[in-house]
Chains A and B, each alone.
Chain A
């Protein structure tokens, strides 16, 4: 079920909302939210609900273990066992074929030709996200950052909360713990307007901006080998904005949905294309992921505490794994490595970069991000090389379809992403003029979904 579908907006959400607020009891609301999460998730494939339930049980059990035992050995066991279980599931479903194919390629280079079977595995949607939810919970319990919950349904609500289940943000338990505790007494009207507003803004970002851009980007990149230099740049700029508005739109809708149920989900995008340098970019892009990578990988690796070279190494390892998290493909690893290299380079020569005027740094950082998206978007290195070649070596060829319309869409997207306010910077207390703008955006978004253009969110594949 997609947020940008009529079944979600006019059937699932109203039922989930009305029943939730009709229930007065905290536990009943936990159970209801858990149930809605499983219905929402099971709409894609009911079998995967079992997987999520298993992961939830294991992590919840580990939490109880932390409460019960204080000796280091058993606490470590409570830390390691569930993380191994969660990562094994993720590894199997997401990376098994990738691992087998890579092994085959390495053996082939070594002169050993072995036919490795291709496993017929369906990637459970959102597994990367809820695995991170459970892992961050376990690690925080182990570190003593949070006190594990005894209430099973509170924990299951946290894992299966439909607003952040399949594509994040990666919300840590401590970030919503207080709202979950107060779920039985929270006010329905307090955040209602804010919730609707965030949801509508997210819908506009996704449906009006991202999907409109995808209508010319997707066909153009499908024939990337025929595009001219201008056409390739247009397609890649389009993809950069499409990806941002798609994911940011999803996150904004998730925040809005959270508000509707009295849960404050943190900001995931803070206008990343306004970033002035690589470090700033990662403070603004997919904030929940980059902060998880920082707190649970980069800092445990040593962070910047072991000298320059170790810092560079830690940055690279963190970003390479961050790239791999996005997808089981070497192009994602290279994308991660590219950003790791940018972060390391900024650390080395940042003072020189910072002397440039702000507008140059912003445009420069955006350009660097666009180059990175080439690897992110490409299905293979051949495709990435072809696109990069056409971007940087003047080449004749086709332009994108409906170029004037595409240019208008790009202009609007560029303004909003690089100059305009993001959803968290907007006011959500509306007078009539604001309400009319909101109604206009909502109507336009719903009209487009009512056609046949509603498309899945790009980050669902991760």
Chain B
């Protein structure tokens, strides 16, 4: 690289010597040197630029190849985040069929998990789980989100004689949850879409914290326009490297600094909000939650399914010491309220679910209590489960599902049949 330019000043000097005076020669020589220097600089800069381009392209390509190797995610996938796995169409808001982002794989009917037929296969009881990110499964390893573990747990119990007369009975769990799915949206999805999947049981795990936003939650507005939910092909050019680097940057920060930044963000959001600020659990929001839970139970029954309500669990109830960093992380998403209010509202919503279930005869699973005695490692953060927490959830809900009317009916009828 250095030998070629180095020979050029010599040529310049030869021509300068033959046609010019010494002063002019000096001038020409220094001019040649400066040109040579500039050329070298240019070469170096373009070399550095080429290296940066190669580096960036390799980085991006490696991200894509690794996503393919690890998750079989297409190299040119248009999906860039978990949010892209949600679609808003004529049915309302729900999972996007056949979409995939890393470990999160949606099936043909827009639920997370393996492929499913529209109608349940004969001899299979279909259960649908609905809820927000805790149910969708953000932090568990693939296949360990609680709906998947619920299916495994129920099938294991059935094989081990939970329904002795129908040893061939199998359970299929469809996970229709998505991040941010509120109770009114669940009701809408049950009414418009899930009814077509003919579930025998619908397990609902509502997130009460969504009632502590500026407005009480409403169902996502359906979108009947022809381009509803279409993701443009340019999305596949979105650099995945940037997302990875951003995540790494977050990871690199010590917890104390992360908490400080979150707290600042929350404080800034609080300072800028109009509307109510909740320093104690607001009674009107609790009433709204109660109304929505009642409507959900009616809605589930209206499509011929049995409801199972699950009380909300978090990483704070039953703990000797409160993890301040986790609480700050939770507060960040609900700046209108305090951490203490979030925890208190969660506990009050548990009582509401119990009373509604008692009145309506629905099965209720007390996940709050079950997870309160679990090790800290059951939670990956303030409310999302780690594999262990998801396993405990699955085990608790399995008890509830087996107590529902459809399962009890199938098993007792079979027993009666076999008894005769």
Are both chains from one complex?
yes
Chain A to chain B contacts (Cβ below 8 Å), 11 pairs: A11-B252, A215-B70, A432-B1, A436-B51, A442-B55, A443-B55, A446-B59, A447-B244, A448-B66, A450-B63, A451-B70
CB < 8 Å: which of A215, A432, A436, A450 contacts B248? A450
* B window 149-166: CB within 8 A of A: none
Min CB–CB distance B59 → chain A (angstroms): 4
Are B54 and A450 touching (Cβ within 8 A)? no
Specify which chain B residues have a CB less than 8 angstroms from the CB of A443 in the assembled complex.
Answer: 54-59, 62
A431 CA to B57 CA in the complex, in Å?
20
Are B1 and A431 touching (Cβ within 8 A)? yes
Binary per-residue interface labels of chain B (244-262) against chain A in the complex, 1 for a CB within 8 Å, 0 otherwise: 1101110110000000000
CB < 8 Å: which of A436, A447, A453 contacts B50? A436
Min CB–CB distance B317 → chain A (angstroms): 28
Specify which chain A residues have a CB less than 8 angstroms from the CB of B58 in the assembled complex.
Answer: 439-440, 443-444, 447
Specify which chain B residues have a CB less than 8 angstroms from the CB of A402 in the assembled complex.
Answer: 69
* A window 421-437: CB within 8 A of B: 431-432, 435-436
Are B59 and A447 touching (Cβ within 8 A)? yes
Binary per-residue interface labels of chain B (27-52) against chain A in the complex, 1 for a CB within 8 Å, 0 otherwise: 00000000000000000000100110
Min CB–CB distance B201 → chain A (angstroms): 33
A443 CA to B60 CA in the complex, in Å?
9
CB < 8 Å: which of B62, B69, B247, B252 contacts A447? B62
Closest chain A residue to B247 by CB distance?
A450
With an 8 A cutoff between CB atoms, is B82 at the interface? no
Are B69 and A405 touching (Cβ within 8 A)? yes
A339 CA to B238 CA in the complex, in Å?
53
With an 8 A cutoff between CB atoms, is B197 at the interface? no
Specify which chain A residues have a CB less than 8 angstroms from the CB of B220 in the assembled complex.
Answer: none
Specify which chain A residues have a CB less than 8 angstroms from the CB of B248 in the assembled complex.
Answer: 6, 449-450
Min CB–CB distance B216 → chain A (angstroms): 37
Min CB–CB distance B384 → chain A (angstroms): 16
* B window 62-76: CB within 8 A of A: 62-63, 66, 69-70
With an 8 A cutoff between CB atoms, is A7 at the interface? yes
Closest chain A residue to B56 by CB distance?
A443
With an 8 A cutoff between CB atoms, is B236 at the interface? no
Min CB–CB distance B242 → chain A (angstroms): 10
The winner among B47, B69, B248 for most chain A CB atoms within 10 A is B248
Min CB–CB distance B91 → chain A (angstroms): 34
With an 8 A cutoff between CB atoms, is B303 at the interface? no
Are A439 and B55 touching (Cβ within 8 A)? yes
With an 8 A cutoff between CB atoms, is A349 at the interface? no
List 15 extra interface pairs beyond A432-B50, A447-B66, A450-B248, CB under 8 A.
Answer: A6-B249, A6-B252, A10-B252, A215-B70, A405-B69, A436-B50, A436-B51, A439-B51, A443-B56, A443-B57, A443-B58, A443-B59, A444-B62, A450-B244, A453-B66
Specify which chain B residues have a CB less than 8 angstroms from the CB of A447 in the assembled complex.
Answer: 58-60, 62-63, 66, 241, 244
Specify which chain B residues have a CB less than 8 angstroms from the CB of A11 in the assembled complex.
Answer: 252
Specify which chain B residues have a CB less than 8 angstroms from the CB of A432 in the assembled complex.
Answer: 1, 47, 50
Specify which chain B residues have a CB less than 8 angstroms from the CB of A446 in the assembled complex.
Answer: 59
Closest chain B residue to A444 by CB distance?
B62
Min CB–CB distance A99 → chain B (angstroms): 30
Are B241 and A450 touching (Cβ within 8 A)? yes
Closest chain B residue to A6 by CB distance?
B248
Specify which chain B residues have a CB less than 8 angstroms from the CB of A405 in the assembled complex.
Answer: 69
A11 CA to B249 CA in the complex, in Å?
10
Closest chain A residue to B72 by CB distance?
A402
Closest chain B residue to A212 by CB distance?
B69
Specify which chain B residues have a CB less than 8 angstroms from the CB of A449 in the assembled complex.
Answer: 248
Closest chain A residue to B62 by CB distance?
A447
Specify which chain B residues have a CB less than 8 angstroms from the CB of A431 in the assembled complex.
Answer: 1
* B window 199-253: CB within 8 A of A: 241, 244-245, 247-249, 251-252
Are B62 and A7 touching (Cβ within 8 A)? no
Specify which chain A residues have a CB less than 8 angstroms from the CB of B247 in the assembled complex.
Answer: 450
The winner among A7, A212, A447, A448 for most chain B CB atoms within 10 A is A447
Min CB–CB distance B105 → chain A (angstroms): 16
Closest chain A residue to B47 by CB distance?
A432
Binary per-residue interface labels of chain A (142-169) against chain B in the complex, 1 for a CB within 8 Å, 0 otherwise: 0000000000000000000000000000
A215 CA to B57 CA in the complex, in Å?
24
Specify which chain A residues have a CB less than 8 angstroms from the CB of B249 in the assembled complex.
Answer: 6
**Given contacts A432-B47, A439-B51, is CB(A450)–CB(B245) below 8 Å?**
yes
Are B54 and A440 touching (Cβ within 8 A)? yes
A442 CA to B55 CA in the complex, in Å?
8
* A window 1-29: CB within 8 A of B: 6-7, 10-11
Specify which chain A residues have a CB less than 8 angstroms from the CB of B245 in the assembled complex.
Answer: 450
Specify which chain B residues have a CB less than 8 angstroms from the CB of A435 in the assembled complex.
Answer: 47, 51
A88 CA to B368 CA in the complex, in Å?
48
Closest chain B residue to A442 by CB distance?
B55
A431 CA to B47 CA in the complex, in Å?
11
Min CB–CB distance A267 → chain B (angstroms): 28
Min CB–CB distance A334 → chain B (angstroms): 33
Min CB–CB distance B355 → chain A (angstroms): 42
Specify which chain B residues have a CB less than 8 angstroms from the CB of A453 in the assembled complex.
Answer: 66, 70
A328 CA to B58 CA in the complex, in Å?
42
Min CB–CB distance B326 → chain A (angstroms): 20
Min CB–CB distance A193 → chain B (angstroms): 14
Min CB–CB distance B55 → chain A (angstroms): 4
A402 CA to B66 CA in the complex, in Å?
13
Binary per-residue interface labels of chain A (334-371) against chain B in the complex, 1 for a CB within 8 Å, 0 otherwise: 00000000000000000000000000000000000000
A389 CA to B66 CA in the complex, in Å?
34
A447 CA to B251 CA in the complex, in Å?
15
Specify which chain A residues have a CB less than 8 angstroms from the CB of B70 in the assembled complex.
Answer: 215, 451, 453
* A window 441-462: CB within 8 A of B: 442-444, 446-451, 453
Closest chain B residue to A208 by CB distance?
B62
Min CB–CB distance B107 → chain A (angstroms): 21
Closest chain A residue to B57 by CB distance?
A443
Specify which chain A residues have a CB less than 8 angstroms from the CB of B244 in the assembled complex.
Answer: 447, 450-451
Specify which chain B residues have a CB less than 8 angstroms from the CB of A448 in the assembled complex.
Answer: 62, 66
Specify which chain B residues have a CB less than 8 angstroms from the CB of A440 in the assembled complex.
Answer: 54-55, 58
* B window 166-219: CB within 8 A of A: none
Specify which chain B residues have a CB less than 8 angstroms from the CB of A7 in the assembled complex.
Answer: 251-252
Closest chain B residue to A7 by CB distance?
B252
Min CB–CB distance B71 → chain A (angstroms): 10
* B window 340-369: CB within 8 A of A: none
Are A439 and B54 touching (Cβ within 8 A)? yes
